[in-house]
Structure 1
């Protein structure tokens, strides 16, 4: 009997305010997979820095990314495919996530600073201030051609983004 297909983790990535949570929730609903917010894995010190308008360093992010990677592996060991949000701005960060014991695939939500600035202006109750948007775009390394995933225009409606991502990932 052949081995069952490995669990998959879909990581909805991009800068803060691009629409990761909305898209990830819709993907999780359509696929029937559990969802997690990467923000929930941040230690208090990271949240305090971001709330104060101080960008995180790579050293701040490594333990956070390791916790996310470990969560993916734990869920995969239980046979669960998952959907999660994570900025995953740099390839180095994505490489850490790919160390999980699952097939880690990315849905890179791409958009302009203007689109994101408008969305951030309408958002409340989040610890990431709009003042850090410039640093997010400066850190962003787009998904490489050799990385398992797709780039989707976040300016489209959430439904169109989800439809495109699922079709292009072969999960529709």
Structure 2
């Protein structure tokens, strides 16, 4: 529907998926420059390292599920990190086609160096928000992610009108 027929049209700056994407890109771009310039890491590599630091050893498939990154992105990130000896690959005892990824000692050291910087960026980004606003934002983002996952599982877009 358009503004011409009296119905409200899509206004990009008011469209929540667009605003979320733009905000995410702005934050990711800011942080990506710091990780790339100082540590030679891409955002997917950093996310992979964070997941392994947080969750412990995982398969690439588990990382795909946990991060919502596609298989190719995870595979490339893992290859780059393995090449720098920041992660190790080992055989999956239950599935010979799969590998388990884990941080190496060097990967844990680098993660320990970067994590305070990541937290400082987060603190700077939310410094203009009250603690209850940050808490609300976290809850709302979680609910939006849950709703998006549920909608994706339905396989069809929601009905129009």
Report the TM-score, using the length of structure 2 for normalisation.
0.30
Structure 1 or 2, whichever has the larger Rg, is 2
Q: Which has the higher contact order (CA 8 A, sep 6+)?
A: 1
Greater strand proportion: 1
Q: Which has the larger share of helix?
A: 2
